[in-house]
Amino acid sequence: MSKEEKNVKRRDFLFTASYTVGAVGLGAVVWPLIDQMNPDKAQQALATTEVDISQVEPGKSITVLWRGKPVFLKRRTQDEIAEARAVSMDDLPDPQKDEERVKEGKDEWLVMLGVCTHLGCVPLKDKGDYKGWFCPCHGSHYDLSGRIRKGPAPKNMEIPKFEFVDNNTIKIG
Amino acid sequence: MSGHEEYKPKSKAGKWLNDRLPLLTLGAHLTDYPTPKNLNYWWTFGGILTFCLLTQIITGIVLAMHYVAHADLAFASVEHIMRDVNYGWLIRYIHSNGASMFFLAVYIHIFRSLFYGSYKSPREVIWIIGLMIYLLMMAAAFMGYVLPWGQMSFWGATVITNLFSAIPLVGDSITTWLWGAYSVDNPTLTRFFSLHYLIPFLILGLVVLHIWALHVPGNNNPVGIDIKKPSKDTVPFHPYITIKDAFALLLFMIVFAGFVFFTPNVLGHSDNYIPANPLVTPAHIVPEWYLLPFYAILRSVPDKLGGVILMFGAIFILFVLPWLDTSKVRSAVFRPIYRQFYWIFVIDVLMLGYVGAMPAEGIYLVLARVGTIYYFLHFIVVMPLVGLFEKTEPIPMSISEPVLGGGAELSLAKKDNGKI
Amino acid sequence: MEKFNLAKIFSVFLIIIFPNIVNTAEQTDPIKVNWSFKGLTGKFDRASLQRGFQVYKEVCSSCHSMQYLSYRNLGEPGGPEFSLEEVKAIAASVEIEDGPDSQGEMFTRPGRPSDKFKSPYPNVNASIAANGGAYPPDMSVLVKARPGGSNYIYSVLVGYEEPPAGMQLDDGVYYNKYMIGNKIKMSAPLLDGIVEYSDGTEASVDQMAKDVTTFLSWAAEPELEERHRTGIKVIIYLILLTVLVYLSMKKIWSRIDSEI
């Protein structure tokens, strides 16, 4: 290798190293600028809401706000539960048993995020072809278990993490 | 913007675009731009200032996503940024220290211009645009300091807006108009926030003009002589100047990072961590360090209107500096007398800054008055007279051939026409 | 050519900005304490933070609010780092007003980690009225709001003395060697053994003052440890890149016959 070639090599290495190290730094600077838009610590901490359900009659539902979204709490009648469980899995775009969507022994309580899985509107209760919910934005029909039956929505309405603190209180989150 | 051959894009697509919008020509102009090869590190502050401006804009946009411009919520929202927002503390400390770093750089940039006569013909317009940028920077910095709504925010805003009440007849109306209330209050805060967001983009526009105006005559240089472009006295901007600017910028960033990570509040005032209280004025109201010399000038005059006039005069006299300086030679390197006055002037401004931070009494008041008088004497008396009577030292013919040509024609700051 | 002396200019510059930082009021300089959280790699002493929180809770919090802190902060990294259970228990020991419920009534419930520290008074006026016209400042950023910082807070806590002869003090005003103006409306808050530390540390006035000052320093700058850690990395990175760019620059400028 001639001296000149060595020089060129060294120069190339230097430039590549400078560019690489510079690019890494630039990447490291970009992350905080992106991450600052993610939910902050205060948002992350507002995780739970407790709901008093003692006043809800069978067949009625209430809506509460959790993490800025509506949560539907519906106390279903025995007829409604039976109807939801009679559905064949083949009729469901997103097959899921009603039993999987409620807490065992508390199967009259359907607790789900009241957000249409299509584009995030809030469905109307007691509407639609399946006696459950109907989203007015783009015509998605949900049944008595909150499962998608007809329309553009791809998935059943989401069940949040929740638990029964006692017989009259549900803790969401 | 002349001296090199017209740029022709190589690719078809490039030619198509360039025929419609000559972006590639602009890019080529900027990279090939012939720059004097003897620029020293004082010339790297232009690039550093661009970095400062962009840093302030980017971090500022981010902060505005979380900040709440309301008198009841502003202080709490800043604490929210510091405590809860992901990397909020980092972004805010970069922004607040960034303001100081910006002024540090701009002062070096201005004093470099003063030393090497960069404001002289044919670069007067660059100088004037630069001063407009500096004025806008002060406005932006002042309004930004109000936003956290701490004690210094509130009382700084009160004192500065009250300057306008010195104007005869309409002063009080103007002050009330600025406030949108009968004191500094929520309407004042919200409008300051709006303007604080606007001004950096005005600065950005002026920076484009500043650089455009620079690229017409080209850079001044430490020797201060006019040079042929391109020639063996020049180098292409890229990679020679870009790499040098990058090196200087990195050194600057190390200092910057030192402040942000290890002493983030040292340049601020502790009173600004006390929420604004319209009933209690802090014992010492001082502006941020970069405004202290002007604050000293303001306080040195025992008359309200007089103080305000002198303070603004101290800035506006800079606008006519190119015509107050009668010297035919640009660079102080070849001006033995001016060189000494230059350093006296530097010390004078530093001293004004020092007394600006001190209580306006006793020896400090005396120093402030002496400093103020000298400040104006420098421009009104020293600059014209030294230029007329000074015997300048021999000037080299070119940068690469440091032959002392003696003939001053080559190195004159031409005053008569725009020919370069 | 005239040589600029960068060091000289910079030192003058520092002299200029310093008076801005240092308070010029006439008072005794605060005691300098060798805090563990000062310096480039400074970290808080966890045990001291936990004890300091106890002092705050049992002594200061009856008058001083800390409205920008949440109970969850006590468990976050870089702070006292109480366990999740401890944080929940601390929060639950406080009754927080919440509401309105579905009937439109306000109600109280045990605190949760996401709640802000409960303030001792409903508003500033109530706190002024209850303290004889003196307003006990919020302590969230108190350390940053005083020119002497941690040293000053510590000094005031241990600076109670008999007033010098001839000094007249009104009722409810106390002499403090380090307080700005030497007069303070807070009576000496710490007495030996006023709290009982569970870790067996002796609760002397000096120890409690150090602990609670450490706690307040963290409260004002909860990001301090992360800031120091990140800062070291950033500066090492910048130095590395600076060296690389410097060598590249030398290389590039060697192509032409000129000094950089």
With beta carbons less than 8 A apart as the criterion, state whether B286 and C22 touch: no
What's the pLDDT at C8? 53
What's the pLDDT at C170? 85
Whether A30 shows a pLDDT value over 60: the answer reads yes
Q: How many domains does chain B have?
A: 2
- Which residue of A7, A15, A18, A46 to mutate against C (max C Cβ within 10 Å)? A18
User: Where residue B254 sits, what CATH number does that domain have?
Assistant: 1.20.810.10
Question: Residue C238 and residue B254: Cβ atoms within 8 Å?
Answer: yes
- Same domain flag for B298 and B172: no
What's the pLDDT at C255? 86
Low-confidence ranges of chain B (pLDDT < 50): 1-4, 406-409, 411, 413-420
Assess A41–C contact: CB distance below 8 Å, yes or no: yes
Residue A126 DSSP SS3: coil
Render pLDDT for A73-110 as a digit per residue (tens, 0 to 9): 999 999 999 999 999 898 899 999 999 999 988 989 99
Query: Using 50, 70 and 90 to split pLDDT, how confident is the model at C23?
Result: very low
Mean pLDDT of chain B: 92
**A 130-169 residues inside an 8 A Cβ radius of C:** none
**Assigned domain for B25 exists:** no
Query: Using 50, 70 and 90 to split pLDDT, how confident is the model at C1?
Result: very low
**C-alpha R_g of chain B:** 24
Mean pLDDT of chain A: 90
With beta carbons less than 8 A apart as the criterion, state whether B140 and B196 touch: yes
Whether C9 shows a pLDDT value over 60: the answer reads no
In the beta sheet, which residues pair with residue C184? C174
Instruction: Give the neighbours of chain B: at least 3 Cβ pairs within 8 Å.
Output: A, C
In the beta sheet, which residues pair with residue A74? A61, A110
Q: How many CB contacts within 8 angstroms connect chain B with chain C?
A: 118
**Assigned domain for B1 exists:** no
Chain B hits for C228, CB-CB cut-off 8 Å, are: 261-262
Domain boundary among B284, B318, B345: B284
Assess A33–B contact: CB distance below 8 Å, yes or no: yes
Question: Residue A25 and residue C113: Cβ atoms within 8 Å?
Answer: no
- What 3 state SS string does chain B have? CCCCCCCCCCCHHHHHHHHHCCHHHHHHHHHHCEEECCCCHHHHHHHHHHHHHHHHHHHHHHHHCCCCCCCCCHHHHHHHHHHCCCCHHHHHHHHHHHHHHHHHHHHHHHHHHHHHCCCCCCCHHHHHHHHHHHHHHHHHHHHHHHCCCEHHHHHHHHHHHHHHHHCCCCHHHHHHHHHCCCCCCHHHHHHHHHHHHHHHHHHHHHHHHHHHHHHCCCCCCCCCCCCCCCCCCEEEHHHHHHHHHHHHHHHHHHHHHHHHHHCCCCCCCHHHHCECCCCCCCCCCCCCHHHHHHHHHHHCCCCHHHHHHHHHHHHHHHHHHHHHCCCCECCHHHCHHHHHHHHHHHHHHHHHHHHHCCCCCHHHHHHHHHHHHHHHHHHHHHHHHHHHHCCCCCCECCCCCCCECCCHHHHECCCCCCCC
**Which DSSP letter does residue A72 get?**
E
Query: Using 50, 70 and 90 to split pLDDT, how confident is the model at A2?
Result: low
What's the pLDDT at A4? 67
- Same domain flag for B339 and B239: no
What's the pLDDT at B417? 39
Sequence letter at residue B418: G
- Same domain flag for B46 and B63: yes
What's the pLDDT at C133? 82
Structure tokens at B389: 């009577």
* Residues of A recognised as catalytic: 138
Assess A90–B contact: CB distance below 8 Å, yes or no: no
Domain boundary among B222, B253, B284: B284
CB-nearest to A15 from C101, C237, C248 is C248
Assess C19–B contact: CB distance below 8 Å, yes or no: yes
What's the pLDDT at A166? 87
What's the pLDDT at B420? 35
Instruction: Give the neighbours of chain A: at least 3 Cβ pairs within 8 Å.
Output: B, C
**Assigned domain for B88 exists:** yes
Render pLDDT for C114-161 as a digit per residue (tens, 0 to 9): 999 999 999 888 998 988 888 899 999 999 999 999 999 999 999 999
Structure ipTM? 0.91
**Assigned domain for B18 exists:** no
Fold entry, domain C31-69+116-222: Cytochrome Bc1 Complex; Chain D, domain 2 (1.10.760)
- Same domain flag for B277 and B298: no
Query: Using 50, 70 and 90 to split pLDDT, how confident is the model at A3?
Result: low
With beta carbons less than 8 A apart as the criterion, state whether C186 and C134 touch: yes
**How many other C-beta atoms are found inside a 10 Å radius of the C-beta of residue A154?**
11
- Which residue of A7, A11, A14 to mutate against C (max C Cβ within 10 Å)? A14
Rounded to a whole number of angstroms, the distance from the CA of C195 to the nearest CA of chain B is 29
Whether C227 shows a pLDDT value over 50: the answer reads yes
Chain A hits for C229, CB-CB cut-off 8 Å, are: none
- Same domain flag for B238 and B303: no
- Same domain flag for B98 and B228: yes
Higher confidence at residue A152 or residue A3? A152
Rounded to a whole number of angstroms, the distance from the CA of B28 to the nearest CA of chain A is 21
- What 3 state SS string does B323-363 have? HHCCCCECCHHHCHHHHHHHHHHHHHHHHHHHHHCCCCCHH
Mean pLDDT of chain C: 88
Domain boundary among B284, B317, B352: B284
* Separation of alpha carbons C31 and C152, rounded Å: 7
Higher confidence at residue B382 or residue A168? B382
What's the pLDDT at C24? 46
- Same domain flag for B296 and B202: no
**How many other C-beta atoms are found inside a 10 Å radius of the C-beta of residue B307?**
18
- Same domain flag for B264 and B310: no
With beta carbons less than 8 A apart as the criterion, state whether B398 and B223 touch: no
- Same domain flag for B263 and B331: no
**Assigned domain for B6 exists:** no
List CB contacts of C172: < 8 A, sequence separation 6 or more: C132, C134, C185
- Same domain flag for B352 and B255: no
* Separation of alpha carbons C166 and B38, rounded Å: 70
With beta carbons less than 8 A apart as the criterion, state whether A19 and B239 touch: no
In the beta sheet, which residues pair with residue C96? C109
**Assigned domain for B86 exists:** yes
Residue % of chain A over a pLDDT of 90: 66
Stated pTM of the model: 0.90
Give the residue numbers spanning the domain of B75: 36-284
How confident is the model over C15-38, as a mean pLDDT? 70
**B 82-121 residues inside an 8 A Cβ radius of A:** 83-88, 90-91
Structure tokens at C126: 């109530």
- Same domain flag for B394 and B305: yes
**C-alpha R_g of chain C:** 24
- Same domain flag for B154 and B290: no
